[in-house]
Every structure is written in structure tokens, then in C-alpha cells.
Amino acid sequence: MKQTKQFKTESQRLLHLMTHSIYTHHEIFLRELISNSSDAIDKRNFKSLTDENVPRADYEIRLIADEKARTLTIIDNGIGLTEEELIENLGTIAKSGTKAFQESLEEKNDAELIGQFGVGFYSAFMVAEKVEVRTRSPFTESGFLWTSDGVSDYTIEELEKDLIGTEITLYIREDAEEIDFSKFLKFYELKSLVKKYSDYIRYPIKMLETKTEDKKEIQEDVILNQMTPIWKRSKSDVTEEEMNEFFKHQFNEYDAPLKTIHTNVEGMLTYTALLFIPKKPAYNFYSESFEKGLQLYSKSVFIEDKNKSLIPDYFKFVKGLVDSADLSLNLSREMLQHDRQLKKIESHLEKKIKSELEALLADDRKTYLEFYEAYKLTLKYGIYDMFGMNKDKLQDLILFETSKSEEQITLKEYLDRKPESQKFIYYATGKSKSRMLNLPQMDAMKSQDIEVLLCYDDVDEFMFQAMQNYQEIPFKSIQQGDLEEVLEDKKKEVKKQEKDYKDFLKALKDNLKEHVKDVKVSARLTESPVCIVSGEGVSLEMEKVLNQMPNGETFKAERILEVNPNHALFKKLYDTFQEDSESIGSIASLLYYQSLVAEGIPLENPKAYTDALTNLLSKS
């Protein structure tokens, strides 16, 4: 019985795009269909290892062109599709991310979309006015015929089909004004497209070539592709362009990779790894739905698409594949996860990636910065995670802007520049550079010529806590605790001022006891009248981050108000207090709110601030 079904809405949009607005990349349809065939053969072969209902075959992909009928058929003996799979896989956009696809539909150009979302099969409608899919899965008795003109619906009906696998017939469109569709029916064009896009496919792509010999037409079966997987070819034999094309297609990427790592290891453990760092993180890279992993092959036979145990979380941006002859093909996927060989490969790869990144940092900082901009959060979380267990592997890969340098520097470079006597690595946290540079707490650092790391990311401070120190030099926030060591020579003066202003300080403290733990004379301030600092433990910046977490707990940093008796404002307010002790309420509010504003902390009660200001200003 023949049933007619509607395409899902998002598929209809995509199909419309395929048939109407893409005029540049028609030819990629062949690569997409061949690649689907190759995947389907991989799947069948893998299944056949563990499931006796799935027989092996002499795997091949075949192209048949019929110029008279204007049809091109792509045949494979892969895993085929059941009826449900036909509806599921060809009726909707493949899993790759329908939502994200829809969201980007407006923003990006067509070619980019095809690359990013693996809209593979539908690309057939770029060149065909009608598509027929004849397919049979090893798990069903009969086959099925799926037909569509790629507009709004498709039909499915049962079909007698002996062989397991899939045949896709494209009814090639009539030539349009600017586009020659007929070329997709010609042997030489197809041959050159296979060469260009699908040469590395490991199964033979066959086609009959018609030749004339002695005025007689004869037909000869030819294999169009070289069949050697790209990672098995010698490095010098693969051009950069070929490698980039392979990357784009194999991993659904639009851009060439930022870095390619191709490594052959021989010895106790033999394997080839071909790794790539994409220029940009995947659209869902920072969300839960992102899955890390490398493709796994054994003797060039595909085993698994995303093997998670091959790559640590902190390098999850790496895409690529591993091909090893030492893996037993009879292992189930669960067992593979615990395979000792895989563990060893992971540890090799981890070292390799680390050393390649370090080399990039040392030799080509511009590219490294591009990498770093894209993935720094992953590296930083990697350091913070597991209580800093992996810090040794990652700490030399992170960079910071500083109070003294526009260029981002490494921690090692920071240490190399700092004077011997400096006992800490100082940092400031905040949302912008100007805000950090203008922090009252920065005064003392400037006056002592101390370089301060500028930290913009929420994770930074948590990371420092996990690291504790770098090369035994501890980290220290300039916004937290006291800065005694920097301010040694000011101690005496501070002591004296604390005595001189004892009553005033006590009055301020009593007045602000709901808000701050203490009011102190500051040693760190020179140009500003007040600042707020936090005690040990949770810092003000961490307080902001922690309170945004979804678990509903509230955190409060211990606040200490520091005042600068050398500042004219302080002096003026002190005089006001001497004349009229009743005004202490307004004075305390003014100083406290000033300190919050300077730190960029939102005021709970802005009116109290303006009231205090109005009150004091109208006095003088």
C-alpha cells in the first residue's frame, strides 16, 4: 500500500532552499550521497561482526548514469533503511540540529549551512526534480520505495528487493539558463567529481565506462577512487587543500581547520591519529548537548563515530580519528571503553596535543591567540575541574592581559618579568579593562610598579583557587584580604591614622554593621577615598558568579570598607562629623555606596545614596 506523508516544516524550508537559492555548489550532492553510502557500508560491516543476521558482502558503491532517461543512480550494499528509518531519517532533517539550523537560516549563507548541518541527503534536490530511494535493511523481509519531488510530501510503498542496501535514483533536472545539469550524467564529469571529493572513500566506487575499440562500443567496469584513506597516505603525498576538504566533509565543518595534527606511532602500540582543531567552536560547544569524541577505526574499518575515551574533556574541541591495528574488532563498544590499548592511546594523544599547542604558542602566537580566543574557557575549566588535578598539563597554555601589557602573556612570562622580591602573582577581576585599571585598589599597585593580571572570565578566580600557585608563587587578588606585603612602608602611617580617627572609624563601623564586617584605614589607596574589599574565602566577584548558579543557594562575601584619610573627601567628611555628629548616617552611606559604585556592584538601595549625597552637599 502506498502512503503519502508530509515533510516536517523545517525539512520543507530546507528543501525549498535546496531547490531555489543554491546556485553555486550543485556538485556537492554526489559527495554527500557517496558519503552516506560509505557510512551505510561501515555500519553494515560493523554490525556483521556481532550479529549473525547481518551477512557481509563484497562492499561497493556503484554509479549508473542513463543519459536518455536522464537518471543517475547511486547504489550501495550498506545497511539499508527500514520503513521507520526512512520516515525518521529522510522525512526530517538529520539529527545534526534542526533548531540551530533554523536559527541560523537568516544569518548565514547557504554553503555555510550545508557544511555546518550536514543536510546531506536533501542536496540531491539541487540537481534532481524527483528522487527515488529503493532500500532494504537486513532486519526486514521486504524492501521499500521512497519517492519525492522535494516539495512538500513523499510516498512510501513496499517493494520487492533481494539485495540488502540502497539505490538512490535522481531524475536530473533539465538544463537551466545558467546551469548545465546534464553534465551530471556524463562519465568524465562524475569521475572527476569523485576524484575531487570522494577519492579517499575506502570502498570502491565503480562505474561502467563506454569506449570505442575498432569502431565497436565496449563497456568496461572502472574504479573511480584511489580508496586509500587519507590518513594512511604519506603526509607529503597529501596536499593541504585535500586535507582541509577531508576535514570539512568528514566532520561537517565549513572552515578549514586551525590546526591539523597527523601522527603515526609504531612500536608496542601502532596507530595513526589525524586530529583537527576547528577554527570556531561548534554551535553547541558550550552546551550540554555537545558530545566530544574521536572516530575510531581498526585497520581502516570504521568502528565508532564518537569514542569519548580517546580525548580528555579539556581538549574536547579536538575533532578527528584514530586508526589502530591493535584493537580487537570483536569487542563490544562497552568493552572498548575500558580497553587498555585505548587508554594508552589517549595518554599519547593528550601529550601530543599539549606539545603541539605549546609549539604553536611559542612559534606562531597569532594563530595561538585565535585558538585561545575560541577555546580558553575549556582550558580554564580543565584546570579548575577535579580540584586542579590537571593543572600541570594546562597552566602553560593560558594567557592574560595585564595592567602593563596589551598583549596577553603566559604565567611563565609574568614570572620572568616580575622582580625577585615580589612574592605573589597579583590579579584583578572585573568585566572590563578600564574598570579594573580604575579600581581604587589598583592605586597601590601602580605606585609600586607591580604588574597585575586582568581577569575577565567568571571561571578565572575559581581556577586560581584550584591552582593555588604557579611554580610555587601563590596567586593573590588585589581586591581581597590585605596587601600588607606591598604596603610594608605604609604600616606606620596607617597605625597612626587608625589612632587619630578612632572615634570616626568606630562610628562608621557601627553605622554600617549591616553591610560590612569592618571599617579600616587603607594602606592601598592613594587616589581614591574608599574601596570595598573582601576578606579571605569567597570574593566579591565569586559572589556574583555563585549567586547566578541555578541551585538557589546564596553566597555572601565578607565585605571590608577601606578608607583613605589622606583624601580630601575623607577630610571634608571628617570635619563635617566633628561639627555635627548627627550626620554620621549620611556620611557612612555615602562612603559605602561610593565603594560599591567603584567596584561595579549594583546598589540595593540607590535612593539611600542620593539622599546621603543631597543631604551632605546641601550642608556646605
Applying CB under 6 A, which residues contact ligand ADP? Answer: 32, 36-37, 40, 76, 78-81, 89-90, 94, 96, 118, 120-121, 166
Closer residue to ligand ADP (CB): 204 or 585: 204
For ligand ADP, the closer CB: 282 or 483: 282
Write out 524-588 in H/E/C secondary structure: CCCCCCEEEEECCCCCHHHHHHHHCCCCCCCCCCCEEEEECCCCHHHHHHHHHHHHCHHHHHHHH
Decide whether 122 or 381 has the Cβ nearer to ligand ADP: 122
Query: Could you tell me the smallest distance in angstroms from the CB atom of residue 135 to ligand ADP?
Result: 7
Taking the complex as a whole, the smallest distance from the CB of residue 602 to ligand ADP amounts, in Å, to 46
Nearer to ligand ADP, 124 or 454 (CB): 124
Taking each helix axis as running N to C, give the angle between helix 584-599 and helix 606-619, from 0 to 180 degrees, rounded to the nearest 10.
130
Shortest Cβ 32–ligand ADP spacing (Å): 6
Question: Can you state the percent helix, strand and coil of the chain, rounding each to 5?
Answer: 45, 20, 35
Contact 198, 205 (CB under 8 A): yes
DSSP-assigned letters across all residues of 1-46:
--EEEEPPHHHHHHHHHHHHT--S-TTHHHHHHHHHHHHHHHHHHH
Which amino acid is residue 22, in one-letter code? I
- Tell the smallest beta-carbon distance from residue 410 to ligand ADP (Å): 40
| CB of 116 or CB of 564, closer to ligand ADP | 116
In the bound state with ligand ADP, the residue whose beta carbon lies nearer, of 187 and 251, is 251
> Residue 319's beta-bridge partner residues?
276
Closer to ligand ADP by CB, 76 or 599: give it.
76
* DSSP result, 110-157: HHHHHHHHT-GGGGGGGTEEEEEEEEE-TT-SSEEEEEE-SSSEEEEE
Q: Smallest distance, Å, CB 85 to ligand ADP?
A: 6
Of 166 and 511, which CB lies nearer to ligand ADP in the complex structure? 166
Q: DSSP labels for 190-224? A: HHHHHHHHSTT-SS-EEEEEEEEETTEEEEEEEE-
Neighbours of 445 (CB within 10 A): 21
Query: In the bound complex, what is the minimum distance in angstroms from residue 167's beta carbon to ligand ADP?
Result: 9
Least separation, in Å, of the C-beta of 164 and ligand ADP? Answer: 10
Judged by beta carbon, residue 32 or residue 253, the one nearer ligand ADP is 32
Instruction: Tell the smallest beta-carbon distance from residue 118 to ligand ADP (Å).
Output: 3
Give the span between the Cα atoms of 603 and 541, in whole angstroms.
15
Centre a 10 Å sphere on the Cβ of residue 606 and count the other Cβ atoms it contains: 11
Chain-centre distance for alpha carbon 84 = 33
Cα dihedral: 276, 277, 283, 284 (round 10): 90
State the minimum distance, in angstroms, from the CB of residue 121 to ligand ADP.
3
Minimal CB distance residue for ligand ADP: 120
- CA neighbor of 510 nearest in space, from 518, 502, 522: 518
Taking the least distance from each CB to ligand ADP, the nearer of 166 and 480 is: 166
Cβ atoms of 502 and 561 within 8 Å: the answer is no
- 3-class DSSP state for residue 235? helix
Residues paired with residue 429 on neighbouring β-strands, in sequence order: 455
* Min dist. Cβ of residue 80 to ligand ADP (A): 6
